[in-house]
Amino acid sequence: MTDTPPDRLSVNPKSPHHDEALLARGIGVRFRDQIKTNVEEYCLSEGWIRVAAGKTLDRKGNPLTVKLTGPVEVWFEDIQADV
């Protein structure tokens, strides 16, 4: 496995950007100098993250998300990067 996280990753199993093996390693996300633990999806090259909008669900039972833009940093938690 590589030590570089992918450009885009999602926790939703129905997404084409979902990768269970990478998620099992643990992904750390820093957005605007704050470590986020509720990220549903991120994209490094485009500079955005999707986070759940409270406890609201859509009609299919998935959490409603909000897209936030800004600087995104990502690392693998099992590497213990200097964060």
Give the burial class of 24: count Cβ atoms within 10 A of its Cβ; 0-12 exposed, 13-18 middle, 19 or more buried. Answer: exposed
pTM (two decimals): 0.85
pLDDT in tens, 15-45: 999 999 999 999 999 999 999 999 999 999 9
Res 82 pLDDT > 60: no
Q: Model confidence over 46-76: pLDDT tens digits?
A: 999 999 999 999 998 888 999 999 999 999 9
Q: Which two structure tokens, joined as six digits, stand for 48?
A: 């955005």
The span from the CA of 37 to the CA of 3, in Å, is 20
Question: Within a 13 Å sphere around the CA of 17, how many CA atoms are in the beta-carbon half?
Answer: 12
Beta bridge partners, 8, equal 43
Q: Among 79, 68, 59, which residue's Cα sits nearest to residue 39? A: 68
Q: How far apart are CA 21 and CA 67, in angstroms?
A: 25
